[in-house]
Amino acid sequence: MDEGQHACPFCGDATYGMTFASPGKGMCRECDIEYVFARGECRECKTWMVNPEFVKRSIAEQHKPGCSLRDDENYCHQTDDEVIRAMGYEPNDARRESIADAKGEAT
């Protein structure tokens, strides 16, 4: 790894461009995309919800048939740890810090 580069705290790859500039905290572009999808998907049916204005369908209509979270306003992952698990990783401090950085909550 070159001076100033750091590995993504999710996948460990240092070859992708980092999307968040905080040294040692940012995630790679691929994990950033996974993060965005994990934040907006239904916990049960795993459908990624799109702004209803763009698709002309309500959030409830976007769930897969039979999804019990169809009418639940809290259909998406509620905590950072849930989002990390939805991305396919186990939570740890570096990953939590990276998400805090992505949300602008880094200390």
Task: Give domain limits for the chain.
Answer: 29-90
d(CA 52, CA 49): 8
| pTM for this model (two decimals) | 0.75
d(CA 107, CA 105): 6
Tell me the average pLDDT of the chain.
84
- Residues 11-43 have pLDDT tens digits of 888 765 555 544 556 788 888 888 888 989 999
- How does DSSP classify residue 41? B
CB atoms within 10 A of CB 23: 10
State residue 9 phi and psi, 5-degree precision.
Answer: -70, -10
